[in-house]
Amino acid sequence: MDSLGDGRGMAKADFDRDGDVDLIITNYKDRAHYYVNKVAKGHWLQIRLRGRQSNRDGVGSIIRIRARDDRQMRVISAGDGYASQFSRVAHFGLGENEVIEELEVLWPSGKKQLFEGVLADQMIEIDEDATKARVIMARKTASSPSGR
């Protein structure tokens, strides 16, 4: 990215629903710039939470994944930084990993969910009261992962 603008705020999300994170940057006394991510290669997983005992969007929840030797964590927040907004959909870049061996959600209510064998290249929704995740969008045929 190369810009001579006076950036003031940013939003990052998968705006074009292709599995990678894009950016919108607002500038002082200039128009906003939309940057479509055309570089990202590899597999991905996006997770949206739906709270019941906790808050509706799962703000404060911690999501951990393990795919082979790769371990990642995301904390769901309601905002981050000055004049910026980030999606409450957690995005995980997985590289060559096609399956997430373990996916764990720790909710603000104290509830803990564990899902195994989650396929890559999809967006799933995890409900705090459910035992299965719901597939919202998939790049290939994927079954709903079961939790315990």
- CATH number for position 102: 2.60.40.1110
Instruction: Confirm whether 23 is domain-assigned.
Output: no
Instruction: Confirm whether 78 is domain-assigned.
Output: yes
Instruction: Confirm whether 9 is domain-assigned.
Output: no
Contacts of 139 (CB under 8 A, 6+ apart): 19, 121, 122
Tokens representing 125 are 């929704």
Distance of alpha carbon 139 from alpha carbon 120, whole angstroms: 9
Distance of alpha carbon 77 from alpha carbon 83, whole angstroms: 15
pTM tops 0.85, yes or no: no
Q: Which structural domain, as residue segments, surrounds residue 95? A: 41-138
From first to last of its 148 residues, what are the pLDDT tens digits of the chain? 566 677 778 777 788 878 788 888 888 888 888 888 887 688 999 999 999 999 999 999 999 999 999 999 999 998 766 766 677 899 999 999 999 999 999 999 999 999 999 999 999 999 999 999 999 988 754 455 556 5
Number of compact structural domains in the chain = 1
H-state helical runs in the chain: none
Instruction: Confirm whether 105 is domain-assigned.
Output: yes
